[in-house]
Amino acid sequence: MAGMGAIMGIIGAVGSIASAASSIFGGMEQEEQYDFQAEAQDTAADDQMNAAYEAELLADQNARNLESESYENVRREEERLDQELGSQRARAAASGMALDDDGSLSQTMAASRKEGQTQIDWMKQAGVNQADIIRWEGDMARKTGVSSAQFGKSMAKTTKKRGDAAKWDGIFTGGTKMVNAVGQGYTAGQTAGWWGT
């Protein structure tokens, strides 16, 4: 009967050794999964960082395009104003009106020039403001993207540490089970008298 108890103890010890191996290999498998996840997080963070800088560059290019467009619109408006004032002078001259400095025609033309210039100045400033807003938006997109990417990198490091912890937990758990299994087998064999006294 003692032999049967010893065999059952040895079988239990073998099962414990298998469980120990399972713990060790399970920890290593978890580490591999965590490493894969950490690598994916790191790659995503790199992509996000690149996208953040690309957004800023794109915003700057859009701002430069807007400035060029605004400059061209201002140039055309100035040209249109000059043509309009020239046309007013020509009509006045054709009608025989005097273009003296104190007359109502001169005052009207001065008021037209002033109003036209006010509109042109407003167009210039509006173009500058819009370009500044676009650049600011690009800067904010970069800062937000970089911040998110840095968080992603931090998460990747944390995930990697979790993988390392899972591996070592599996090794220590498996080692403890192994020691216990050897002890269990030894005790079973000693009880059966297999090891001598």
Q: What is the spatial distance between Cα 59 and Cα 43, in angstroms, rounded to a whole number?
A: 24
Instruction: Residue 95: count other Cβ atoms within 10 Å of its Cβ.
Output: 8
For the chain, the helix, strand and coil percentages under 3-state DSSP, each to the nearest 5: 95, 0, 5
Instruction: Residue 22: count other Cβ atoms within 10 Å of its Cβ.
Output: 15
Q: What is the spatial distance between Cα 149 and Cα 146, in angstroms, rounded to a whole number?
A: 5
- Kindly give the confidence (pLDDT) of every residue in the chain, 197 residues in length, as a single tens digit, with 9 standing for 90 and above: 556 766 777 777 777 788 888 888 888 898 899 899 999 999 999 999 999 999 999 999 999 999 999 999 999 999 999 998 888 888 877 877 766 656 677 778 888 889 999 999 999 999 999 999 999 999 999 999 999 999 999 999 999 999 988 888 888 888 888 888 888 888 877 877 777 65
Q: What is the spatial distance between Cα 139 and Cα 1, in angstroms, rounded to a whole number?
A: 82
